[in-house]
């Protein structure tokens, strides 16, 4: 199967044809100049340290070794499309073939067998890949709920996925394996979640029976002046929630500002929100657990109900 070989990918057969000696790849491995992707395929160490770039090269190397054509699918298709993944293993290349092919799982390749319509296959850099909507639904059929929601949320937020197309594609799944799981994740997905942390928070809060009533709610003061948007809101209890990740404070930076400036500005904003008699609950990555987040939000909601009474 012919594939384009990026210059930082070394395939043994190509290297030998270009004049490398038989033991040169091994010598470069020992010197730390190359890292083995799979038998007969190598990349520089800096490529191997980046999960996305490494997997892209692994896809190219694996396709070059295939004897029969296949369409790149599942998490491998997500990487080629540039979709956000969280908690998804990237050790194998995933491809799909139409029946009557045979499904197989090897050390570097996972071959799925499923019928692909013509409109479900697109070209990405000359490689046949499942479309974005087919890719996210394949992931939602085969992955746990949380990483499925992370990818779906991000695809909707970044406008890589149209909500109507997603709804139609779910309806067309029929009774294929994993269709119910995919439907559940697709119905829960929300493009208003702006980060992995927000998506994971939403999944956790839902599982605890503490789902917010609104996302990205714009809050104003008594004079109608905007105090900004908040990640989560429980409007009846007048409680707002904020997930604080390092990336978030990077987004808040204005030209010439330091991270400390953004943190200080965020504190002033929180003070202004509390002046509106709003309860504020915040959490960070390490607090995304039922044992920490559940009681914290529950206490904030109880205080809100008492204030309202």
Tens digits of residue pLDDT in 15-60: 888 888 888 888 888 898 888 888 888 898 998 899 999 999 999 9
CA-CA distance, 146 to 158, in Å (whole number)? 18
- Average pLDDT over the chain reads 89
Give Cβ neighbours of residue 143 (< 8 Å, ≥ 6 apart).
88
pLDDT in tens, 286-308: 999 999 999 999 999 999 999 88
> At 5, is the secondary structure helix, strand, or coil?
coil
Predicted confidence (pLDDT) per residue in 220-252, tens digit: 877 777 788 899 999 999 999 999 865 454 454
Q: What is the pTM of this model?
A: 0.86
- pLDDT at position 271: 61
Which residues in the chain belong to E strands, given as ranges? 10-11, 35-38, 41-43, 71-72, 93-97, 104-105, 109-113, 121-124, 127-130, 214-220, 226-234, 239-243, 279-283
pLDDT tens, position by position, 156-175: 999 999 999 999 999 999 88
What distance in Å separates the CA atoms of residue 52 and residue 69, rounded to the nearest whole number? 23
pLDDT at 254: 52
* Helices 179-188 and 145-157, axial angle in degrees (round to 10): 50
pLDDT in tens, 118-133: 999 999 999 999 999 9
Q: Is the pLDDT of residue 92 over 60?
A: yes
Both tokens of residue 294? 């559940």
- The sheet carrying 121-124 orders its strands as 104-105, 109-113, 93-97, 71-72, 127-130, 121-124
Provide φ and ψ at 233, rounded to 5°: -145, 140
Domains and CATH numbers, the chain: 1-65 (no CATH), 71-191 (no CATH), 196-308 (3.40.960)
Indicate if the alpha-carbon torsion angle 81, 87, 92, 96 is positive or negative.
Answer: negative
């Amino acid at each position: 199967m012919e594939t384009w070989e990026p210059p930082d990918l070394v395939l043994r057969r190509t290297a030998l044809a270009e004049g490398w000696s038989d033991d040169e790849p091994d010598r470069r491995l020992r010197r730390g100049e190359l890292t083995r992707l799979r038998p007969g395929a190598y990349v520089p160490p800096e490529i191997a340290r980046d999960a996305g770039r490494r997997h892209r090269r692994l896809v190219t190397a694996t396709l070059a070794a295939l004897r029969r054509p296949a369409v790149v699918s599942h998490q491998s298709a997500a990487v080629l499309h540039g979709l956000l993944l969280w908690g998804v293993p990237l050790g194998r290349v995933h491809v799909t073939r139409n029946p009557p092919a045979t499904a197989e799982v090897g050390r570097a390749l996972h071959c799925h067998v499923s019928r692909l319509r013509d409109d479900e296959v697109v070209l990405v850099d000359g490689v046949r890949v499942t479309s974005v909507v087919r890719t996210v639904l394949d992931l939602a059929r085969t992955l746990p709920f949380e990483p499925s929601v992370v990818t779906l949320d991000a695809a909707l937020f970044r406008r890589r996925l149209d909500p109507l197309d997603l709804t139609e594609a779910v309806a067309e799944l029929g009774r294929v394996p994993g269709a119910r799981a995919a439907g559940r994740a697709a119905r829960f997905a929300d493009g208003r979640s702006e980060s992995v942390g927000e998506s994971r928070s939403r999944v956790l809060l839902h599982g605890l029976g503490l789902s917010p009533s609104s996302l990205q709610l714009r809050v104003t003061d008594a004079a109608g002046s905007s105090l900004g948007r908040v990640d989560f809101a429980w409007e009846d209890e007048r409680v707002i929630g904020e997930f604080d990740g390092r990336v978030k404070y990077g987004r808040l930076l204005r030209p010439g500002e330091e991270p400390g400036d953004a943190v200080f500005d965020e504190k002033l904003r929180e003070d202004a929100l509390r002046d509106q008699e709003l309860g504020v609950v915040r959490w960070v990555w390490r607090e995304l657990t039922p044992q920490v987040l559940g009681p914290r939000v529950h206490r904030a909601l109880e205080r809100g109900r008492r204030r309202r009474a």
